[in-house]
Amino acid sequence: MSSSISTSSESRKQPYLDLESLSRSWRAGTKPAPQVNVVEWAEAFRKLSKESSNGGKFITARVEVARGPMLAATEPGVRKLTLMACTQLLKTTVIENILGRFIHVDPCPILAVLPKDDAAETFSKDRLAPMIRDTKVLRELFGAAKATDAAATLTHKQFPGGHITLVGSNSPTNLAMRPIRLLVCDEIDKYPLSAGGEGPPIDLAEERQAEFITNSLTVLACSPTIAGRSAIEASYEESDQRRAFVQCPHCEGWHSLEWEQVRFEKDEAGKIRLETAHYHCAGCGTAWTESQRLVALRRIEWRQTRAFTCCGEHQVPERWAPEAHGVRRAVCRDCGSLAVPNEHAGFIGSKLYAPKQSIRETVAKYARAMRRGPEALRAFYNTQLARTWKEGVDAPEWQDVYARRDRAYLSGTIPLGALILFAGVDVQKDRLEVGIWAFGRNRERWLIEHRVLPGETNRPEVWKSLEAMFDETWEHAGGAEMGVRDWGIDSSGFTAEVYAFVRRQAGRGNVHAVDGQDSVQSAFLGVGAKDTTPAGKKLRRGLKTLRIGASFCKQELMGCLALQRPAQGEAFPAGFIHLPEDVSEDQVKQLTAEELVTHVTRGRTRRQWVPIGGRRNEVLDCANYARGVAAMRGRDRWRETQWRDLEHALGIARVRTVPEPDEPPPATVAPGSLAARNLHRATIRRSKVRSRTR
């Protein structure tokens, strides 16, 4: 009896007495992670599932364009990785290999975020489970963990040294449940703007990386969608904007593959002839054969292309450092230093880099999309070209508008061509924003100043600041001081405060409450009476609001902002918008913050102005209010005499942007001719009229 007890006790103590086993476990736990990048791991251990088109050993060279993004996962300094890619090229493969590498050689807590919970379960069953099943090293890890982890589920799996959790982006609880080091977010354009009202899903998930601040990694992946509202597009623009360069087989120059270089011919009926579709080099213009394209895709260089400022000069990358970790870093052309940080590595890839889809097949998909209409064309741009689809064709790019700013004047000054000032005021909870705009001939406009008056709008201090602006003047280039003719204050948000303020300014006669309406009829829609008697009758001398056609003003403004600056010495086109040299990028972004989008609801088509994701629009609103009050004063109907009266009041002569042609000399009349006799009769009639008038 006692002997059996003694034997049992010794057997229970045996594991703890095995010092050699304990030592091996200690050494394994303290051993640093092997220096294996994702490409090396995938080619050494990854086995593609039988469900894939290339089952068996993973070979990176089959899709060479995927090498750069995989190397970036272990590139020193990289903390975030963005993949804006077309469908069925590299996105999912890169994500799977990154997950496999970290689970095997550098285990840590991992969170994978999908658009919804059912998408997370589908990824687990269709992607993660086959990879674990067919990759031996992962199968051994998860097989050993499964025996000891009774809580393992479809969306939560443990492995030695860490765990992987798959969640939907619509659940704030799951996003903020555990501290994580590796965050993988797929299909981010399908995420809700806010997870349960607690904020953007990606922001919530990234907060869980605080404990791994020194070695965390975030991977964002998706095909792009609508321009200005695509989360993956915004993330790529924030990155170092890497592009894949290939070498031309003819001129040996290096260029990225762009859709604009794909050319084809059409027949007499306008149908694309697929046999004429070829890719043409951006440098020498020579057409490539399909075999030459495939050879070029065997060697790809990823290069940083984001613009930067160095040595006091704004530069677009023209020189790059030697390749390291799968990327060539941009360097300054003057000092030669690395100019673009690599903390956020961004990649973009289209089907032009796909070895399994020829140029002819891509053009065939384009032709089919053209026949099917805008929705099919949008899908082609998103899924084949990895480009966003711009619905609001009336909204110009803010970068183009910013590049056309006027070098001839600064904020707070008025150029010669500007003859009258109108102002728009946008009312926010904690501030007033004031836009001063000048108007001149030929429908031209100038932004004179945009000022922010901070202060709670339910308190009098901020309104006193606005009232003080009513007495301010701005210096005209001709030397005169100009005041604002009319002020339009938005009354749609803080109606009571605006109405009370406008009533107090009634003696001025130029301070108005404005009400923006969704109308494309005109800039000024009329006056609306707001004060009534107890019986409901409108008071003739009560408060009135100016009804502004906001949609008309926006559409007109966007069209004018798209106008190109003329050549030196030529006249500006009608409606040109002048912006001061020191206008900020943020002000231009706000000025172009909305786009016109077409919606089809219940078979009815409606066009609506919607904000472009993440941009404020106060500068745009102020411009619309100023335009509306200018229309109220009849600016659109003014004749030349009224513009001359404004110049006379400013003490300046008419400003001509270009010399006008000389007037032709008066025609001579031959004596005794019919024209001479008619002229003589007309002179006699005019003299008789003058006599009767006297």
Pairing of strands 80-85, 344-349: parallel
List of residues 6+ apart from 409 with CB closer than 8 A: 415, 446, 477, 578, 580, 581
- 434-458 average pLDDT score: 94
| Confidence band, pLDDT 50/70/90 cuts, at residue 53 | low
Which pair of tokens denotes residue 361?
Answer: 């097949």
Q: Name the helix (H) or strand (E) containing 437.
A: strand 431-439
State pLDDT tens for residues 501-548: 999 998 888 999 999 988 878 899 888 877 666 766 667 677 889 999
Which pLDDT value is given to residue 35?
Answer: 79
Residue 22 confidence (pLDDT) above 60: yes
User: What SS3 class is residue 286?
Assistant: coil
- 260-274 average pLDDT score: 89
Residue 391 confidence (pLDDT) above 90: no
- 422-433 average pLDDT score: 95
State pLDDT tens for residues 180-222: 999 999 999 999 888 877 788 999 899 888 889 889 999 999 9
- The DSSP call for residue 199 is S
CA distance 435 to 487: 10
Q: Any idea what the Cα angle at residue 224 is, between residues 221 and 225, rounded to 5°?
A: 135
Which pLDDT value is given to residue 531?
Answer: 66
- 53-73 average pLDDT score: 89
- The DSSP call for residue 515 is E
Q: Are 421 and 412 in contact (CB under 8 A)?
A: no
Percentage of the residues of the chain whose pLDDT score is greater than 70: 85
- 380-397 average pLDDT score: 81
- 616-637 average pLDDT score: 93
Which pLDDT value is given to residue 574?
Answer: 86
Which pLDDT value is given to residue 4?
Answer: 41
CA distance 41 to 255: 30
Residue 42 confidence (pLDDT) above 70: yes
State pLDDT tens for residues 652-664: 877 654 444 444 4
| Confidence band, pLDDT 50/70/90 cuts, at residue 145 | low
Residue 683 confidence (pLDDT) above 80: no
Which pLDDT value is given to residue 559?
Answer: 86
Alpha carbon of residue 420 to chain centroid: 34
- 338-364 average pLDDT score: 94
Which pLDDT value is given to residue 535?
Answer: 66
- 641-661 average pLDDT score: 75
pTM value is 0.63
| Confidence band, pLDDT 50/70/90 cuts, at residue 374 | confident
Which pLDDT value is given to residue 6?
Answer: 42
State pLDDT tens for residues 570-607: 888 888 999 999 999 999 999 999 888 766 655 555 67
User: What SS3 class is residue 4?
Assistant: helix
Which pLDDT value is given to residue 171?
Answer: 79
Burial class (CB in 10 A: 0-12, 13-18, 19+), 407: exposed
Cα–Cα nearest to 482, from 425, 418, 432, 576: 418
Q: Any idea what the Cα angle at residue 453 is, between residues 449 and 454, rounded to 5°?
A: 145
Which pLDDT value is given to residue 528?
Answer: 84
Which pair of tokens denotes residue 227?
Answer: 């321009």
Name the average pLDDT for the chain.
85
Which pLDDT value is given to residue 10?
Answer: 45
Q: Any idea what the Cα angle at residue 383 is, between residues 382 and 384, rounded to 5°?
A: 100
Cα–Cα nearest to 332, from 322, 323, 321: 321
- Taken in order of first residue, the domains within the chain and their CATH numbers are 34-245+341-390 (3.40.50.300), 404-639 (3.30.420)
Q: Are 438 and 445 in contact (CB under 8 A)?
A: yes
- Helix H segments across 201-358? 201-206, 231-238, 290-296
- 242-247 average pLDDT score: 96
